[in-house]
Structure 1
Amino acid sequence: MTLIDKSTIPATGNDQIDSDHAEFISLLNQLDNADNLEFAGLFRQLHEHVAAHFERENQLMAQSLFPAESEHKGEHQRVLSEFKQFQSRVDKGLIAFGQAFIRERLPGWFAIHAATMDNVLASYIRQNRA
């Protein structure tokens, strides 16, 4: 089963962002197919990936003087806060909470975030290169 088919997420044209998106999709799909023994480790791996992924985007926004930086970073903080809450539950062995987050929350959020906020950021960077 595949939660997100990579072909349904349009490329932004920014190699760094697109690479991070491909890794996110891969990890999310691995988690969807993970058994309970594998789930906790993969969930932590996705959580760490998302934190690093968001930090790379935050650096791109700062370097490019992206005008919507505060809104985009705010979205990153909100999602990281959710991850932290679910990570705590998964760490306690409450795998079903993590599975629900992976299956019911992240795919829809990611599709919208990638198509809107990340696409706008990549477009801004392309149009404002020195």
Structure 2
Amino acid sequence: MAVLWTQDYAVGVDLIDRQHQELFRRFNSLIEACKERKGREQVAGLLDFLGGYVISHFQEEESLMAAHQYPGAAAHSSEHRDFAGQLRELRSHLDVEGASFNLLIETNESVLRWLIQHIRKTDTALGAFLQTRR
């Protein structure tokens, strides 16, 4: 089932919202591939994309936090590091065991869960803070 971007996920910072929308598009492409029974072929591509894109995305967010002296920056950055570690573990699993069905399920569940929770809680708090600084 695709995860649709709605305004509920908007944090109010155009750059961050556009980047989040791209993450949703990529994740949805994996879901579509799974429906077509091509998910195993797509999981490596998604993990490769995420490995680079989220690092860049996290750097953008962390730059905004530093520039505006966001009081929740340490905890927010810690979540970023934890997720980057989770992605490295998934990639390592892929490298060792290949694109197994279990890896596909784990990627779907863990990445989607983290993405939604992080955006709805942590990123929206950052967005609200940044709105007060404008």
* TM-score bracket for the superposition, by shorter chain length: 0.7 to 0.9
Please give the per-residue CA displacement for 1:87-108, whole angstroms capped at 9, x wherever unaligned. 1122335223441233211222
More displaced stretch, 83-92 vs 114-123: 83-92
Deviation at 1:38, TM superposition (A): 3.3
Give yes or no for contact 1:89–1:98 (8 Å, CA) kept in 2.
yes
Q: How does 1:15-54 map to 2 (within 5 A)?
A: 15-34=14-33, 35=38, 36-54=40-58
RMSD after superposition: 1.7
Rate the CA distance shift 1:91–1:33 in 2: closer, same or farther, 3 A.
farther
Please give the per-residue CA displacement for 1:60-106, whole angstroms capped at 9, x wherever unaligned. 11111000000000000000001011111223352234412332112
**Does 2:61 match 1:62?**
no
Q: Secondary structure at the match of 1:95?
A: coil
State how far apart, in whole Å, the 2-side matches of 1:32 and 1:93 are.
21
Give yes or no for contact 2:11–2:123 (8 Å, CA) kept in 1.
yes
Superposition TM-score, scaled by structure 1 size: 0.87
Superposition TM-score, scaled by structure 2 size: 0.85
Q: Secondary structure at the match of 1:6?
A: coil
Deviation at 1:9, TM superposition (A): 4.2
- Counterpart in 2 of 1:103? 108
Q: How does 1:82-101 map to 2 (within 5 A)?
A: 82-96=86-100, 97-101=102-106
1:79 aligned residue (79, 83, 87): 83
Deviation at 1:18, TM superposition (A): 0.3
- Counterpart in 2 of 1:123? 128
Rate the CA distance shift 1:98–1:16 in 2: closer, same or farther, 3 A.
farther
Give yes or no for contact 2:11–2:17 (8 Å, CA) kept in 1.
yes
Give 5+ residue unaligned stretches, structure 1.
Answer: none
Give yes or no for contact 2:47–2:87 (8 Å, CA) kept in 1.
no
Question: What's the % identity of the aligned pairs?
Answer: 27
